[in-house]
Chains A and B, each alone.
Chain A
């Protein structure tokens, strides 16, 4: 199995401007990785090889002529197949979308094009982004490049896998309950969920517009920053210099967020905190008092939102959904209005509690996933001697920041014996 030896976007940009590499060469390398491994990993639903080669050649011509669009110029990236690209289908990994062709680019894609990015293709995902493993897809399960018997996380599983397998330098995903950060953690890469509303969700098939976000997955925090700025339309921004750790005020919400952790994840997380302390950060334990209400608040809003979007097709073409996603959507149709309103009130309570924690600290630090990447097909997983539902475990630590809208970043903090957990400062 080839693992990523591709350049980061920053490294590629330096070599591109030094005329040591061309966009066409970098793009061809990514397309070769797709050709070699896509059949096995099921990472891409659609490969845009011809378009990508044309875009790369144009990017090279612009560089030669002195037209430099900024840090993403000529960089090959992948796009989750939930986001519209003009002229090609947005499948959402579902047979429900058969025959769809996007009439225009989503604003986020327009911004990436303006930044000079080369789109190599559209990545596989959990159907309609309504799942955490990327295995319920009309195109078959996405496989983790580190171990193809395991899930790459989801729902942006193809996005994370494409980076780790060297098929793209970065990717754009979406995150409604953790769908950027969970695959980043499962694959050992970086994932950024921006603040709610920062990056346009127009042209994106919604799961829950209340909680949907668009954001980058990348090999490094600096690369994620570059893609994030490009998504905002700020294509000339450069990655900021690393912030000194000494003097940082960090908060760890141990209660709830560290109650149920795989032993190896806990050990890696605690070791990371120790490294931060040794580097001069102050690390305080804090409490999000209504943390136990995160799941009820999230479920009532997100399930009802999703059910509303799918209500018509659940009546007319229910058989086209994968069974697990169909059942989740059907469950959302039973949420009562009064409980939706209660959940909206709970969301404000949680938002105020995170605001209060951040008024005293620079960031919250918590694990992204309580477990390593699960085996494909597993419904439950053993966590410190007790059997837990895979889906609940994967979502448990990420949902809060979809509910509150605060930004959240997943970064690798070490390896377990099977996969990659990550810390997530918010």
Chain B
């Protein structure tokens, strides 16, 4: 699942659960996840 796909699903879930105030935190988490996945210490199955 890409981060964008995950974020869309998470935002929809927050709406479904009646937690719209959660959406800014999910967007912040998505930014942190994007940074984490871009770090150079991650595994690469091609190498």
Choose from A293, A330, A345 the contact partner of B35 (Cβ within 8 Å).
Answer: A293
B19–A327 touching, CB < 8 Å: yes
Which A residues contact B (CB, under 8 angstroms)? Answer: 290, 292-293, 295-297, 299-300, 303, 323, 327-328, 330-331, 334-336, 339, 342-343, 345-346, 349
Chain B, residue nearest A318 (CB): B19
- Number of A-B pairs, beta carbon distance below 8 Å: 59
With contact pairs A293-B35, A327-B19, A339-B33 given, residues A345 and B26 touching in the complex (Cβ less than 8 Å):
no
Question: Mind listing 9 A-B residue pairs with CB under 8 Å?
Answer: A292-B35, A293-B39, A296-B32, A300-B33, A334-B6, A336-B6, A336-B33, A346-B36, A346-B41
Smallest CB separation, B16 vs chain A (Å): 13
Complex contacts, B26 vs chain A, CB 8 Å: 331, 334
Q: How far is the CB of A357 from chain B (nearest CB, A)?
A: 17
Query: Contacting A296 at CB < 8 Å: which of B22, B25, B35?
Result: B35
Determine the distance from Cα of A69 to Cα of B23 in the docked complex, in whole angstroms.
54
Q: Are B19 and A342 in contact (CB under 8 A)?
A: no
Instruction: Report A-chain residues with C-beta under 8 Å of the C-beta of B25.
Output: 327-328, 330-331
How many residues of chain B are within 8 Å of chain A by beta carbon? 20
- Find the A residue at minimum CB distance from B29: A331
Q: List residues 12-37 of chain B with CB under 8 A from any CB of chain A.
A: 13, 19, 21-22, 25-26, 28-29, 32-33, 35-37
Q: Within the assembled complex, what's the spacing in Å between the Cα atoms of A335 and B3? A: 11
Cross-chain contact A299 with B32 (CB below 8 angstroms): yes
Whether B37 lies near A345 (C-beta < 8 A) is no
Is B42 in contact with A342, judged by CB distance below 8 angstroms?
A: yes
Additional A-B contact list (16), CB under 8 Å, known A295-B35, A296-B33: A292-B35, A293-B36, A296-B32, A296-B35, A296-B36, A299-B29, A300-B36, A303-B29, A323-B21, A327-B19, A327-B22, A328-B25, A331-B28, A334-B13, A339-B37, A345-B43
Tell me the smallest distance from the CB of B3 to a CB of chain A, in Å. 9
Q: CB-nearest residue of chain B relative to A392?
A: B28
Alpha-carbon distance between A138 and B22 when the two chains are bound, in angstroms: 21
* Cα of A345 to Cα of B1 in the assembled complex, Å: 20
Min C-beta distance of B36 to chain A, whole Å:
4
Measured in the bound complex, the distance between the Cα atoms of B32 and A295 in whole Å is: 7
Contact of B41 among A292, A295, A299, A349 (CB under 8 A): A349
Q: For the complex, give the distance between the alpha carbons of A323 and B19 in Å.
A: 11
Q: Which residues of the other chain, A, contact B21 by a CB distance below 8 angstroms?
A: 323, 327
Q: Is the CB of B10 within 8 A of A342?
A: no
**In the complex, A220→B19 CA distance in Å?**
45
| B45 CB to nearest chain A CB (Å) | 13
**Nearest Cβ distance between residue A308 and chain B, in whole angstroms?**
15
- In the bound complex, residues from chain B placing their C-beta under 8 Å from that of A335 are 29
Residue of A nearest to B19 (CB): A330
Known pairs A330-B22, A331-B25; A339 contacts B41 (CB<8 A):
no
